[in-house]
Structure 1
Amino acid sequence: MSTVIIREVDQFNQLAETWWDHLGPMWPLHKLNALRVPFIIRHIQTHFDTRPKLRGLKVLDVGCGAGLLAEAVARCGASVVGIDPAERNVEIARQHAGALDVTYHQAAIEAVVDSTQDSSQQDFKQQFDVVMNMEVVEHVSDLEVFIRHAASLTRPGGLMFAATINRTIFSLLTAILGAEHILGWLPKGTHTWSQFVKPKELEALLSDYGFERVERTGVAVNPLTRSMSLTRYLGGNYMMVLRKRL
């Protein structure tokens, strides 16, 4: 079963040229990167005892877009594989990567799982130390299938990072009505409220596949300054890190 929503892939293909413009339509992701990269690196370094670099670790970035997060993690020394179903996103990511240890594939997660048995696909022959599903689970057609695949790609003892938006009245008012329709921060139709995921739902699914939460945090957005910060409030954007049991 495909987890891809075609209309969303089409929309992200149209935005591909703007990914690396921190003042363009993707500026919220650039702001998020300033928060999520330190969060991710801190937990990887603590869990795997790899300081200051992440050398020797294999990381999968699911829904990598044009590589904002993948490049940042690769700069810290990890070997990163990014996958995204949007062809133009992957083209832009490859052009921007330079000499970093990061490779990109145009693929949905189910295609990656299928290719693990393909000896020609060296990037997917082994499970990953870290799997990142950041700002992607709200864009898939079948969350359970997506999580099952992501879990299968994470090695026992590995980490999974997930970030999305809580399904609350607050997020309806801010992430959709405010960000898309009033402030115009995001193109209309970027998000569908019914696809937002509550933290307890995400954790329950991941628990079924052997994961236990290490930490979770909310992300607060200041509409006046366009700034973001971490918060204990989980009613809007949030991110978490989970460990896969041995």
Structure 2
Amino acid sequence: MSGNDVRGRTPLSLVEQDPDLLFYSRQADERGGPVLVLGSANGRVPWSLAGHGVSAVGVDSSEVMVRSAEERRAEEPAEVSQRVRFVASDVRVLRLTERFPLVLAPQHSMGMMATRDDLDAFLATVCHHLAPGGTFIYDVLNPPREAIIRDDDDDEPRAPLEPRRPLFALHLRERKPPGGTAPIRRLKLRHFAPEELEEALSSCGLTLRERFGRFDGKPFDLGDSRQIGIAGL
């Protein structure tokens, strides 16, 4: 694939130089599109992929986020805009007809899954949409080891809720039409212990193939602040 789009522009992912966008664009180059992005928020990752020449479908449970992502459409060239579509849906129950060679859960989107049942439902959505031989890639916060708590009746480690800094602040406010009251939904974001994620992936039939601690490919270790996993069926 050429490093430029059809107008000869440098892809957005390369202009911005954000490590995660570069990483996801390279993964998409290797595996091809279209790409399904679960928890697309304001569309940052899908739009970056589209600017890089890859078709993407962004899904988010927040209609506010989907509207925010759509606002960028008017600023993009037609050939970029036509590569992206956004869907407002609970990712736990999403069932599209398409299958994808690459499914992404970027920007700690799995952290919105507050319980193990929620996580299992999220991963079932991943499996449903993966094409044969497809790849699932996620990035999540890694809990500090001292923060992992244990239940007195259970020897298994349990990761606490609430990371030390807020993420996805725009998810917490849902606007109503003019004249209505704007409610605030308070959502907890979850850390996942590496062992917990690996077990959940395995239970859903996914095999963890690689795990990194940074987007530059550094191998993961327990002291890293982030887990970046690559899994497949």
TM-score calculated relative to the size of structure 1: 0.62
| 1:205-240 residue CA offsets vs partner (Å, 9 max, x unmatched) | 2223332223211149xxxxxxx9956434422211
Percentage of matched positions with identical amino acids? 21
Please tell me whether the aligned partners of residues 215 and 240 of structure 1 are also in contact (alpha carbons under 8 angstroms): yes
Partner of 1:41: 25
Larger-gyration structure (1/2): 2
CA distance in 2, matches of 1:131, 1:36: 15
- Pick one of 48, 54, 59 that aligns with 2:35: 59
Please tell me whether the aligned partners of residues 145 and 222 of structure 2 are also in contact (alpha carbons under 8 angstroms): no
Pick the structure with more helix per residue. Answer: 1
Partner of 1:233: 221
Partner of 1:85: 61
CA distance in 2, matches of 1:125, 1:186: 28
1:128 aligns with 2:100: yes
Amino acid at match of 2:226: N
Amino acid at match of 1:199: P
Matches within 5 A, 1:139-218: 139-141=112-114, 142-169=118-145, 176-177=163-164, 179=165, 192=188, 195-218=190-213
Structure 1 stretches of 5 or more lacking a match? 1-31, 49-53, 114-123, 221-227
SS at match of 1:108: coil
1:242 aligns with 2:227: no
Deviation at 1:157, TM superposition (A): 0.3
Structure 2 stretches of 5 or more lacking a match? 1-15, 149-161, 173-185
CA distance in 2, matches of 1:229, 1:138: 22
Please tell me whether the aligned partners of residues 38 and 103 of structure 2 are also in contact (alpha carbons under 8 angstroms): yes
Deviation at 1:80, TM superposition (A): 0.6
CA distance in 2, matches of 1:161, 1:229: 13
CA distance in 2, matches of 1:129, 1:186: 27
Matched residues, number = 180
Amino acid at match of 1:238: Q
RMSD over aligned Cα atoms:
3.3
| 1:4-53 residue CA offsets vs partner (Å, 9 max, x unmatched) | xxxxxxxxxxxxxxxxxxxxxxxxxxxx981222222333434x3xxxxx
CA distance in 2, matches of 1:144, 1:33: 33
CA distance in 1, matches of 2:21, 2:168: 22
TM-score calculated relative to the size of structure 2: 0.65
Deviation at 1:93, TM superposition (A): 0.5
| 1:92-132 residue CA offsets vs partner (Å, 9 max, x unmatched) | 1111033321001111123422xxxxxxxxxx222111111
CA distance in 2, matches of 1:126, 1:219: 30
